[in-house]
Amino acid sequence: MSTSLEREAPARAATSMRSGAILAASCLGVFMVLFDLTLTNIAVTHIMRDFGTGVTQAEWVVNAFELTLAMTLVVMGRVGDAHGRRRLFAVGLVVFVAGSLACALAPGIGWLIGFRFAQGLGAAMMVPQTLSIISATFPTERRGMALGAWSAMYGLAAALGPILSGVIVDAASWRWVFVVNVPVAAVTAFLLWRSVPESRDPDADSSLDLPGVGLLSAALFCITFAVIQGQSYGWTSATILGLFAAGAALLCAFVLAERRAEAPLLDLRLLRDVNFSAGNTAALLLAFVMLGVFFVMSVFLQTVLGYSAATTGAILSPLSVALMLAAVLAGRFAGRVSPRWLIAGGFVVVAAGLATIAGHTPFMDPLSAATRPASLVAPFLIVGAGVGLAIAPLTSAVMATVPADKAGSASGVLQTMRQLGAVLGVAVLGAVFQNRAHDDVAAGVGSLSYLAPAQKSAVLEQVHASSTGAHSTMVEHLSAAQRIGEAVVQRMVEGWIADAACTTLNVAISVSVAGALAALLLRRPSGERLG
* DSSP letters spanning 218-247: HHHHHHHHHHHHHHHH-TTSHHHHHHHHHH
Whether 182 and 229 share a structural domain: no
pLDDT mean across residues, the chain? 79
Structurally, the chain folds into a number of domains equal to 3
Whether 44 and 109 share a structural domain: yes
Most distant CA pair in the chain, distance: 95
Amino acid letter, 191: L
Between CA 228 and CA 226 the distance in angstroms is 6
Between CA 301 and CA 316 the distance in angstroms is 9
Between CA 528 and CA 216 the distance in angstroms is 29
Specify the CATH number for the domain of residue 115.
Answer: 1.20.1250.20
Whether 235 and 103 share a structural domain: no
Whether 232 and 141 share a structural domain: no
Short-list 283, 307, 472, 435, CA closest to 376: 307
Question: Tens digits of per-residue pLDDT, 319-359?
Answer: 888 888 888 888 777 667 778 888 999 999 999 999 999 88
Residue 485 belongs to some domain of the structure: yes
Whether 122 and 52 share a structural domain: yes
Whether 255 and 181 share a structural domain: no
Q: Is the pLDDT of residue 398 over 90?
A: no
Question: Tens digits of per-residue pLDDT, 314-323?
Answer: 788 888 888 8
Q: Is the pLDDT of residue 436 over 70?
A: yes
Q: Is the pLDDT of residue 96 over 90?
A: yes
Q: Which domain holds residue 473?
A: 440-498
Whether 260 and 180 share a structural domain: no
The confidence score (pLDDT) of residue 404 equals 62
Integer angstrom CA distances of residue 75 from 27, 69, 82, 212, 264: 21, 10, 11, 9, 11
Among residues 223, 248, 264, the one where a domain terminates is 264
The confidence score (pLDDT) of residue 13 equals 39
Asked if 80 and 132 touch (Cβ cutoff 8 Å), the reply is: yes
Residue 411 belongs to some domain of the structure: no
Residue 413 belongs to some domain of the structure: no
Residue 393 belongs to some domain of the structure: no
Residue 531 belongs to some domain of the structure: no
Residue 432 belongs to some domain of the structure: no
Integer angstrom CA distances of residue 10 from 13, 19, 139, 266, 428: 5, 14, 19, 42, 54
Whether 74 and 186 share a structural domain: yes
| Confidence at 525, pLDDT banded by 50, 70, 90 | low
Whether 37 and 182 share a structural domain: yes
Whether 236 and 112 share a structural domain: no
In degrees to the nearest 10, what's the CA dihedral of 146, 148, 153, 155? -170
Average pLDDT over residues 195-204: 77
Q: Is the pLDDT of residue 528 over 50?
A: no
Whether 108 and 20 share a structural domain: yes
Burial of 338 (0-12, 13-18, 19+ CB in 10 A): middle
Whether 56 and 187 share a structural domain: yes
Residue 82 belongs to some domain of the structure: yes
Short-list 16, 55, 138, 160, CA closest to 434: 55
Phi-psi region of 208 (alpha: psi -120 to 50; beta: other; left: phi over 0): beta
The confidence score (pLDDT) of residue 345 equals 93
Question: Tens digits of per-residue pLDDT, 462-510?
Answer: 555 544 333 333 334 333 334 434 555 566 667 778 888 899 999 999 9
Residue 431 belongs to some domain of the structure: no
Average pLDDT over residues 383-410: 80
